[in-house]
């Protein structure tokens, strides 16, 4: 078939977004072009997330719709069979977990592609094009071969440096979907970074479930701060970020690197999950509130204008009102700059999901989440107000002409604050200096200086 078109729907975290870019790249090499319109696609790929029940449900309901598009016909034996096109690929974290059960549950799916089998996509596509239905979910080390990437045109390039997790927090599915921690070879990472920079990307975000674990399986001396130094040494003006850090794994060496290296930005994402010591223990997090606070205070005292963001879960099994209030207190006391929030969602296979007797009723979880969000908004506004009147460097990501005719550029500061600036010209991709004129909950306003 000539001119085949592929559409990818991505749910979940940046790791999935990065995987989608890799899929597009690989598929382009075997004759597929990207389409924004799923209805005209010859192949539909859903890149799924299983972090919460809601995201998993979304994946199944989406392929249900696609299955209907495929339609059925009657074969020579008189049985109903699904038409061969569009091919439907079920990829990502739900695929890794569900394996062959997905083919049973959704008989219109052609390929179930596990997170660690991404690089086999071109070969597997050939098999499904020949009419096979395939499941590929076995665990596997990081692929060494050079891979093709077709990045979404933007300013920031996602670059995975490690994958997997060994922590087994009692609520979390990720260790089951992304496997054990594995570091990518530095040569591959550096080659990918250089390629992205040569294509015009201005910001590199290193990705991993726990970036602090980078290098544990590599030769002595190759760790996160070493990698940051290698990347920082590449010529040109660009920014470097990294996510996610595990609180107690952040080393002084990494903090030093952030202070010393001009390209590495003053930004740490350090999920705390709860502000209560008992709940933290039940979550199998390896720190208590005092330890987290010490880490936060230490980073703030050393890194000027640092932004520290976090993640929190409301309504973990057994969480009392008092324990929940400790989370609210922690958020405020630590002056966290921003937090992702979610209410607890039981995940099959995880330890906490078995504590059914301790489940918090839905209405209580919803009410706690709303309070958590209210605190988060107050923290964000307070954090943004700290920068009123300040001069900051902004990397411009976007230019728009608004409905009322206003022309506005939008970008981020080094410490990851969004800034809107009135400007007649499209300065996308440029580094500019601005003065902050106004602070809102989710963004700052600024003017060119």
Q: Which residues bind ligand SF4 (CB under 6 A)?
A: 165, 167-169, 172, 174-175, 209-210, 246
CB closer to ligand SF4 out of 244 and 323:
244
* Residues at the site binding ligand SAH, with contacts judged by CB under 6 A: 51-52, 171-172, 174, 209-210, 244, 246, 271, 273, 311, 313, 342, 344-345, 347
Tell me the C-alpha distance between 248 and 288, whole Å.
Answer: 10
Tell me the C-alpha distance between 63 and 105, whole Å.
Answer: 11
Distances (CA, A) of 44 to 19, 41, 214, 258: 15, 6, 33, 41
Number of shown-chain residues binding ligand F3S (CB under 6 A): 13
CA 153 vs. chain centroid, Å, equals 17
**Alpha helix (H) ranges present in 334-410?**
362-385
307 binds ligand F3S (CB under 6 A): no
* Residue 313 touches which of ligand SF4, ligand SAH, ligand F3S, none (Cβ within 5-8 Å per kind): ligand SAH
Tell me the C-alpha distance between 145 and 225, whole Å.
Answer: 25
β-sheet bridge partners, residue 80: 74
**Cβ of residue 349: shortest distance to ligand F3S, in angstroms?**
12
12 binds ligand F3S (CB under 6 A): yes
- Please, what is the Cα angle at 396 between 391 and 399, to 5 degrees? 120
* Residue 49 touches which of ligand SAH, ligand F3S, ligand SF4, none (Cβ within 5-8 Å per kind): ligand F3S
* Residue 264 touches which of ligand F3S, ligand SAH, ligand SF4, none (Cβ within 5-8 Å per kind): none
Site track 51-90 with ligand F3S (rule: CB under 6 A), x = hit: x---------------------------------------
**Burial label, 200 (beta-carbon count in 10 A; 0-12, 13-18, 19+):** exposed
Which residues lie closer than 8 Å to 246 by C-beta, 6 or more apart?
A: 167, 210, 212, 213, 270
CB closer to ligand F3S out of 10 and 274:
10
CB closer to ligand SF4 out of 339 and 383:
339
Distances (CA, A) of 182 to 39, 116, 360: 37, 11, 35
Q: Output DSSP code: residue 107.
A: T
* Residue 177 touches which of ligand SF4, ligand SAH, ligand F3S, none (Cβ within 5-8 Å per kind): ligand F3S
Candidates 41, 49, 279, 306: give the one binding ligand F3S (CB under 6 A). Answer: 49
Span 194-213, contacts to ligand F3S by CB under 6 A: none
* Residue 50 touches which of ligand F3S, ligand SF4, ligand SAH, none (Cβ within 5-8 Å per kind): ligand F3S
* Residue 168 touches which of ligand F3S, ligand SAH, ligand SF4, none (Cβ within 5-8 Å per kind): ligand SF4
Work out whether strand 267-269 and strand 239-243 pair parallel, antiparallel, or are unpaired.
unpaired
* Residue 175 touches which of ligand SAH, ligand SF4, ligand F3S, none (Cβ within 5-8 Å per kind): ligand SF4
From 49-57, 62-70, 308-316, 357-365, span contacting ligand F3S (CB under 6 A): 49-57
296 binds ligand F3S (CB under 6 A): no
16 binds ligand F3S (CB under 6 A): yes
45 binds ligand F3S (CB under 6 A): no
Tell me the C-alpha distance between 70 and 86, whole Å.
Answer: 6
Token digits of residue 94: 């739900």
Tell me the C-alpha distance between 78 and 392, whole Å.
Answer: 70
Instruction: Point out the residue whose Cβ comes nearest to ligand F3S.
Output: 12
Which residues lie closer than 8 Å to 322 by C-beta, 6 or more apart?
A: none
**Cβ of residue 211: shortest distance to ligand F3S, in angstroms?**
14
Which residues lie closer than 8 Å to 37 by C-beta, 6 or more apart?
A: 7
Token digits of residue 187: 């040569």
CB closer to ligand SAH out of 163 and 203:
163
Q: Which residues bind ligand F3S (CB under 6 A)?
A: 12-13, 15-16, 49-51, 92-93, 173-174, 177-178
């Amino acid at each position: 078939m000539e001119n085949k078109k592929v559409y990818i729907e991505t749910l979940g975290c940046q790791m999935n977004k990065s995987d989608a870019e890799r899929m597009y790249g690989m598929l382009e090499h075997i004759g597929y072009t990207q389409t924004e319109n799923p209805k005209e696609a010859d192949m539909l790929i859903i890149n799924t997330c299983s972090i919460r029940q809601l995201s998993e449900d979304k994946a199944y309901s989406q392929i249900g719709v696609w299955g209907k598009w495929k339609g059925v016909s009657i074969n020579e034996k008189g049985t109903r069979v699904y038409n061969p096109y569009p091919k439907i690929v079920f990829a990502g974290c739900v695929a890794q977990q569900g394996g062959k059960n997905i083919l049973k549950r959704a008989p219109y799916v052609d390929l179930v592609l596990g997170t660690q089998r991404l690089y086999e996509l071109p070969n597997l596509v050939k098999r499904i094009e020949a009419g096979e239905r395939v499941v590929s979910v076995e665990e596997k080390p990081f692929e060494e071969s050079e891979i093709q990437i077709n990045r979404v045109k933007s300013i920031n390039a996602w670059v995975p440096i490690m994958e997997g997790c060994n922590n087994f927090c009692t609520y979390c599915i990720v260790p089951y979907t992304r496997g054990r921690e594995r570091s990518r070879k530095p040569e591959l990472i550096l080659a990918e970074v250089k390629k992205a920079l040569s294509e015009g990307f201005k910001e590199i975000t290193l990705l991993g479930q726990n970036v602090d674990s980078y290098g544990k399986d590599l030769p002595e001396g190759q760790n996160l701060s070493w990698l940051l130094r290698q990347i920082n040494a590449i010529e040109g003006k660009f920014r470097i970020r990294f996510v996610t850090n595990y609180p107690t794994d952040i080393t002084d060496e990494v903090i030093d690197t952030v202070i010393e290296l001009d390209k590495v930005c003053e930004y740490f994402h350090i999920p705390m999950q709860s502000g209560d010591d008992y709940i933290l223990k039940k979550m199998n997090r390896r720190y208590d509130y005092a330890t987290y606070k010490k880490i936060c205070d230490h980073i703030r005292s050393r890194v000027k204008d640092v932004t520290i963001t976090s993640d929190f879960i409301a309504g973990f099994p057994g969480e009392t009102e008092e324990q929940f209030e400790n989370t609210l207190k922690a958020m405020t006391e630590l002056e966290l700059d921003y937090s992702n929030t979610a209410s607890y969602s039981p995940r099959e296979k995880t330890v906490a999901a078995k504590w059914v007797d301790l489940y918090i009723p839905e209405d209580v979880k919803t009410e706690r989440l709303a309070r958590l969000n209210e605190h988060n908004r107050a923290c964000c506004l307070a954090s943004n107000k700290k920068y009123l009147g300040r001069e900051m460097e902004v990397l411009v990501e976007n230019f728009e002409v608004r409905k009322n005719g206003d022309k506005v550029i939008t970008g981020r500061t080094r410490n990851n604050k969004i800034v809107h600036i009135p400007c007649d010209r499209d300065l996308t991709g440029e580094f500019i200096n601005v003065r902050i004129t106004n602070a809102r909950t989710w963004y700052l306003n600024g003017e060119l200086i």
